[in-house]
């Protein structure tokens, strides 16, 4: 019986490069979760409750619902969401609100493999972008790629993603807004691949980013679905090591 072909497994650590260009593994990442709640509760009560907690969070006013809020929480330890956050939500004013289960968004930060500052990419950048007081508007949404994208040669995948990436950097340099990109493989309730947050100074600029990205080959040809979209304006924030409150 012929030996079975050994299938190479992906690295469990995030990949980056040291100053000499050697590939290194980094076993750290940031998990972020967005939950949406609805209910006739005073915003002051929610803000005070969150301020007394030790959690890192961003609290949004829901643009769709005058009684709605979005709560973005983050932690390096995924057990935070099943222990500390769970306990807090069951005993805080949020327990008197109704959870909108259409917006169950959860993801982890990741590297592309060529970064020389992996901890900044994995840990600092998502926190700083989510909590920047100059970028109060946010659009959060999940996405799933078509299976045909995964079957493309890696070089072709890189070329398609490069168009998308260059557009995103151009929007960032122009002050339209920046993105927070999180992987959601296997940890999203709707089997989405990624969770994207767009943050910026004005909502119409963020909307233009989404509109323009629809014309890229990646979006037009290789995305199976986008959304649902959550649109919020920051009401309160606390993220360690950043400019808060």
Which has more confidence, 24 or 94?
Answer: 94
Report the C-alpha gap between 221 and 239 in whole angstroms. Answer: 37
Beta bridge partners of 182: 195
pLDDT of residue 69: 97
Say how many domains are in the chain. Answer: 1
20 in a structural domain? no
pLDDT of residue 33: 98
pLDDT of residue 12: 81
21 in a structural domain? no
149 in a structural domain? yes
48 in a structural domain? yes
Among 20-24, 55-59, 198-202, the minimum mean pLDDT is found in: 20-24
pLDDT of 210-228, one tens digit each? 999 999 999 999 999 999 9
Q: At residue 243, does pLDDT exceed 60? A: no
> Where in the sequence is the domain holding 109, given as residue range(s)?
26-238
Which has more confidence, 216 or 5?
Answer: 216
150 in a structural domain? yes
80 in a structural domain? yes
7 in a structural domain? no
Tell me the residue ranges of DSSP E strands in 80-166. 98-99, 105-108, 137-145
Give the torsion sign (CA, 171, 176, 145, 31).
Answer: positive
- 68: domain CATH number is 3.30.70.1030
Average pLDDT over residues 115-131: 91
Which has more confidence, 225 or 12?
Answer: 225
At residue 245 the predicted structure's pLDDT band, cuts being 50, 70 and 90, is very low
pLDDT of residue 179: 96
226 in a structural domain? yes
Among 114-123, 141-150, 181-190, the minimum mean pLDDT is found in: 114-123
What distances in angstroms separate CA 148 from CA 141, 152, 190, 220, 223, one per listed residue? 22, 7, 19, 13, 10
Which has more confidence, 236 or 16?
Answer: 236
pLDDT of residue 164: 84
């Amino acid at each position: 019986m012929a030996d079975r072909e050994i299938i190479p497994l992906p690295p469990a650590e995030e990949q980056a490069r040291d100053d000499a260009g050697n590939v290194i593994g980094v076993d750290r990442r940031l998990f972020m979760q967005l939950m949406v709640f609805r209910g006739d509760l005073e915003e002051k009560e929610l803000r005070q409750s969150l301020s007394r907690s030790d959690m890192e969070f961003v609290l949004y006013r829901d643009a769709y619902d005058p009684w709605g809020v979005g709560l973005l929480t983050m932690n390096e330890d995924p057990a935070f969401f099943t222990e500390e956050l769970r306990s807090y939500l069951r005993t805080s004013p949020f327990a008197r609100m109704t959870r909108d289960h259409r917006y169950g968004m959860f993801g982890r930060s990741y590297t592309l493999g060529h970064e020389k500052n992996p901890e900044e990419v994995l840990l600092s950048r998502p926190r700083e972008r989510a909590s920047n007081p100059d970028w109060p508007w946010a659009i959060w949404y999940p996405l799933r790629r078509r299976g045909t994208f995964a079957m493309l040669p890696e070089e072709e995948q890189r070329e398609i993603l490069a168009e998308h990436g260059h557009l995103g950097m151009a929007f960032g340099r122009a002050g339209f807004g920046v993105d927070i990109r999180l992987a959601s493989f296997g940890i999203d309730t709707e089997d989405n691949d990624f969770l994207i947050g767009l943050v910026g100074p004005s909502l119409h600029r963020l909307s233009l980013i989404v509109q323009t990205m629809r014309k890229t080959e990646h979006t037009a040809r290789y995305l199976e679905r986008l959304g649902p979209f959550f649109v919020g304006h920051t009401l309160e924030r606390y993220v360690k090591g950043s400019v808060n409150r």
